[in-house]
Amino acid sequence: MKVVRPELSVIIPVSEQPRVHPVEALYTDYQQRIAATGLSYEFIYVLDGSFKKVYKALCALREKGENITIIRLARWHGESTALTAGFEQAKGERILTLPPFYQVDGAAITELIQNAPPADMVIVRRWPRSDSLINRLQTRVFHLILKWILGVDFHDLGCSIRLFNRRILEKVSIYGDQHRFLPILAHRYGYKVREVPLAQSKQDIYQKLYPMGVYSRRLLDLLSIFFLVKFTRKPLRFFGLTGLSSLLAGGIYTGYLVFQRLYMGVALADRPALLLGLLLIVLGIQLFAIGLVGELIIFTHAREQREYTIEQIVN
């Protein structure tokens, strides 16, 4: 028996308790907006942990005949893992990710699906922003750093609303907190990513001020994405460059100390500077060796990893 696949899979990860709007009202609004497009669809809720109240509300909707798939993870893993679980369950050729709370006006979702520009992935920019000055400043600084490090000009990666083709998942995988950077990873493989402005929901306006630990993790995530985008296939360029820089600095510094000892009579016994120079040399050799080992691993598995994406073949 042939399985009828829906045209659109709607995935809603529930990962943060404070930001879960009333389930039935939100689902009804989402469902009506998507039904207005005329596409066949399925809803997939992924509960990242317990969320007993959300689970009961979803079960009640299923009892009313709503086409909802519920995935419950045994414990909290993070939104990236929740999305991955939803991707594996999705059957549609197009996938729409939505948050369990309002980020844009409901009518904008219908507009997004019906008028999406030709692209492999369409991401949403909440514009104009009505957030507090602190929120807008945080967003602006983060995306300026992102543009400076990676050279991509996106403006609102914090928005969870994304519409994309299923084939992107054949190349792109996410883990940790990388769900924010899914458009960047898709762009790395040559997929066309477009950003469209949609009106921000009035229910999305609240002041977000995180502890320093969160900002530190975001910075580390940014650095990991930088490495994945720039040096996954060329590890020697990163480790080799840093290793040679350390080796060169250590060699010059140690050579200067030896010159002082031989020609200027400056003793080395009571100076820790020599240890610093030798440490830089050893560190440089180790970093270069790591890059070389990485290159050998990439060469060994190169046939299994395709970095390119074929858009079209004309024969």
Assigned token pair, 76: 């909290």
CB 150 within 8 A of CB 106: no
Long-range Cβ contact pairs of 235-239 (< 8 A, separation 24 or more): 235/290, 235/291, 235/294, 235/295, 235/298, 236/291, 236/292, 236/294, 236/295, 237/291, 238/291, 239/287, 239/288, 239/290, 239/291, 239/292, 239/294
Residue 207: the pLDDT is 62
**Domain chopping of the chain, boundaries:** 8-133+156-205, 235-301
Residue 210: the pLDDT is 66
CB within 8 Å of 207: residues ≥ 6 apart: 131, 132, 134, 135
User: Which class in CATH covers the domain with range 8-133+156-205?
Assistant: alpha beta
Residue 1: the pLDDT is 52
pLDDT in tens, the chain (315 residues): 556 789 999 999 999 876 788 999 999 999 999 999 999 999 999 999 889 999 999 999 999 999 999 999 999 999 999 999 999 999 999 999 999 999 998 899 999 999 999 999 999 999 988 877 888 888 899 899 989 988 899 999 999 999 999 999 988 888 878 899 999 999 988 999 999 999 999 888 766 666 666 777 888 888 888 888 888 888 899 999 999 999 999 999 999 998 988 888 888 777 788 899 999 999 999 999 999 998 988 888 766 666 667 777 887
Give the end-to-end CA distance of the chain in Å, rounded to a whole number.
34
